Each structure stands twice: as C-alpha cells, then as structure tokens.
Amino acid sequence: MIFRTLLAATTMLVGAGLAAQAQDYPDHELQGIIMWGAGGATDVVAHAVTPAAEEALGQSIVLVNRPGGTGAISTAFVSAAPADGYTILYGAENPQLHGVMGLSEIDYADFYPVNILGRGVGVVVARADAPWNSFSELVADANERPGEIKMGSTGPGGIPFVVNAMLNAVAPYEVTAVPFDGEGPALTALQGGHVDFIPSGISAAAELIRAGKVKPLAVINTEPVEQLPNVPAITDEYPEMEKYLPWGPFYGVFVRQDVPEEAKTALVEAFDTAASSEDFVELMKNRGNIVMNISGDEAREFLDDWQSTTTWLLQEAGETKVSPEDLGIPKP
C-alpha cells in the first residue's frame, strides 16, 4: 500500500515537472537546423525571419546548416532530436518528394508545421557570358550537342530537378546535371563558369541577376514577376508549361509532431509575429517571394496539395522511383 502511494506520488511529481517545464518554454536557447547550405534561398529566409522570432520567444536560436541528401539529412536529424521544441527545422519543399524519389520515408507528415513562411517562383539563370538570350536558344544548343551543357543541380527532388523535368516534358533536351549541396554553392559555381545554367528560386538568384553576375533566361511562371519585369515568362516560348503552373519552392518552420502543445503554441505565435514583421515582408518581396504566414490545418492542407501536384507531375514525367499511388498520395 505504501509502495503504491509512493509510486503514485512520484508519477504525479514527474508529470507536474514536465508540465511546468513545458509551461516555462522556452527557458534556454533553441537550435535551428537549416535544410540547405549557406547562401541558398532557405538559408536566406531562415536568417531573415529568425531575429524577430527570437525577440518574440525571449531566447536565441542558434542556426546550423545541415545540407545533404536533398534535405534528408536535416529531416532525419530533427526527427531524431528530443521532442521538446528546442530543435526546429527550417525547411524547403524537398521532403514532400523524398518518398517518390526513394530518398527517405520521412516527410512533413511526420512534423508539425509551425509556419509556412512563403513560397517562391523559379527562374532559369545562365552564366553571365553564356551565348543564349532565351531558354529556347539553350534548348536548341543542347540538342546540337547532347550532354555537353552542364546544369547545376541540388539532387533528386530539388528545384533544378523538378523544373528540368517540367521543361523536358514540353521541350526535350539533354544536359549533364552537376550536383551541389544547395542553390548557394550551385550559383557560386555558375558564376565561376563551372556549370552553364541552373533553374533556381528567384529568392536565391535575384541579387545576382540585378548585379549582372548571372543571366536570366525565363521565369517559371505564366507572367513576368514584379522584381524581374524584363525577364520573360517561360510560357511566352512554351505555352504548354501553363498546365504545371503556378509552381514553386516554399519555405517553412517545423518541429516534431509530438512536441508538447505549449511549445507548439509559443512557436506558432513567435513565427507569426516574425513573418508579419516589416523587415521580413520587405525582404521576401525584394526577392520575388510571396509571404504566406500560415500554420496548423491551413499549412497542412497546403503541404498535402503541393505534394499531390508535384509527385504526380514527376510520375507522369517518368522521374519517380516509387509511385505516389503506392505511398497513398492522391491525384490532384
């Protein structure tokens, strides 16, 4: 009887301690794992939104880049971290394609979407001294010398991979993909002449375009974007691309699904404030991104819709290793 009483009292104390810890969240610094390398779009967005989130939380967030495996390294790391809300993931769209690309069984269904911060538009950029002034000229050149033109890539399921699959569906051409750990390193290689072109997010490439360090050929959109008004839409040359658009990368903040509700609430409120801040909104606009600032069920619906559209696009293009149907992903 005494033992049972002591056990019950101990259990209550432990439970009370955990509850108090969650209610005091956060009581020490957090770690923010960035899915891609320094200088890429995800990295830029993460560094832009974090200061206001730190102020709202009252704690610092130590940012660490963990690129690799087209995002699989970072998702595995955060998934294995304690579910206490002190390890957060700054991620892009890539995990929603990991299943069909055979890269990982982990996707955003295993995480809680604290905030989908925004989405972007793709742009095809070439090295500044490239001979092409339009994407159709690049295609014509690639068809004259198959495999000789080098495309910067971030691996299966990355922006270059998906955009290249779309483009090949409407204008077949053959290039050689050269892999990098993110858009930042790929764009650096482009400036150095180590690759010839790369489909990128405007967020990562906009400043380089304005500085004349890379040459834009087309935006992956049905019309020009405000930040790059002189760059033609891809549908100007290839109207068939319209069936895939609008499409683009997105950026968000995630934690493990089983993080305590108190921590989720604190993070949602902090990143809602941060994503609404004037500095962040201005940066996103200048880089051609659209601020979304959604969480919870609304974010989950967006994630599911994006995954459905993109996985089935890749399936129809013959670029998947596993059918989305086998993974229970419905057709759009």
pLDDT tens digits, one per residue of 55-109: 999 999 999 999 999 999 999 999 999 999 999 999 999 999 999 999 999 999 9
- Parallel, antiparallel, or unpaired for β 150-153 and 176-179? parallel
DSSP 148: T
Distance CA 329, CA 237 (A): 32
Best CA proximity match to 123, nearest among 163, 171, 162, 93: 163
**Confidence check: pLDDT of 235 > 90:** yes
Give the angle subtended at the CA of 270 by the CAs of 268 and 274, to the nearest 5°.
115
Q: What is the mean pLDDT of residues 117-125?
A: 95
Query: Tokens 């229970």 identify what position?
Result: 328
Read off the pLDDT band of 21 (50, 70, 90): low
| Residues linked to residue 254 through DSSP beta bridges, in sequence order | 89, 113
Q: What is the mean pLDDT of residues 179-185?
A: 90
Q: What is the pLDDT of residues 242-260, one digit of tens each?
A: 988 889 899 999 999 999 9
**Packing angle between helix 202-210 and helix 41-57, nearest 10 degrees?**
110
- Structure token digits, residue 27: 């009581």
What pLDDT, on a 0 to 100 scale, did the predictor assign at position 11? Answer: 44
What pLDDT, on a 0 to 100 scale, did the predictor assign at position 257? Answer: 97
Q: What is the mean pLDDT of residues 11-27?
A: 61
pTM: 0.80
Report how far apart, in Å, the C-alpha atoms of 315 and of each of 41, 107, 327 are.
26, 18, 12
**Confidence check: pLDDT of 41 > 70:** yes
Q: Which domains are seen in the chain, by residue range?
A: 28-120+249-316 (3.40.190.150), 122-244 (3.40.190.10)
Contact 105, 92 (CB under 8 A): no
Distance CA 185, CA 182 (A): 6
Please state whether 147 falls in left (phi above 0), alpha (psi between -120 and 50) or beta: left
**Confidence check: pLDDT of 13 > 80:** no
